[in-house]
């Protein structure tokens, strides 16, 4: 049986172990060289922005709509990003005889995408009243 194109499994395991060890080494090195903060006074910890001392307002609440809009934007943006490489390589799949399978897969993906979009509109996730 022919091996799949790309890196063999041993290479993937080696890179994973190497990156874990190297990352751990860098964290310990940064802690050893960086040391500790010497001046940890209340003035250093005070909020300071644009030359105006901070005024904390406890009654200020951020609406969940902001977070929902951001999450939905990221979700739909990532789905669009998945479509670009598919569109670029679709002719290659047609040439290898897998065009129908890849096309049906993308249509299922688009159906889920469109269903999510209609669900978002129906649930009024983006209305700001």
Residue 18 forms part of a structural domain: no
The pTM is what?
Answer: 0.47
Residue 10 forms part of a structural domain: no
Collapsing DSSP to helix, strand or coil, 67 comes out as helix
Per residue in 17-69, pLDDT (tens digit) is: 999 999 999 999 988 888 766 667 777 667 666 666 666 666 667 777 788 88
Residue 103: is it exposed, middle or buried by C-beta count within 10 angstroms (0-12/13-18/19+)? Answer: middle
Residue 118 forms part of a structural domain: yes
Q: Mean pLDDT over residues 58-86, rounded?
A: 81
Residue 107: which pLDDT band, with cuts at 50, 70 and 90?
very high
What's the domain range around 112?
61-122
- In the chain, the number of structural domains is 1
């Amino acid at each position: 049986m022919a091996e799949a194109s790309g890196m063999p499994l041993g290479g993937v395991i080696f890179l994973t172990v190497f990156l874990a060890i190297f990352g751990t080494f860098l964290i310990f090195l940064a802690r050893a060289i960086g040391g500790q903060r010497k001046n940890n006074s209340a003035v250093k910890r005070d909020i300071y922005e644009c030359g105006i001392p901070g005024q904390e307002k406890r009654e200020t609440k951020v609406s969940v709509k902001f977070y929902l809009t951001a999450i939905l934007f990221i979700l739909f943006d990532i789905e669009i990003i998945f479509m670009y490489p598919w569109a670029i390589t679709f002719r290659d799949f047609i040439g290898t005889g897998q065009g129908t399978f890849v096309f049906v897969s993308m249509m299922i993906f688009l159906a889920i995408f469109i269903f999510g979009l209609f669900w978002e509109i129906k649930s009024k996730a983006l209305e700001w009243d």
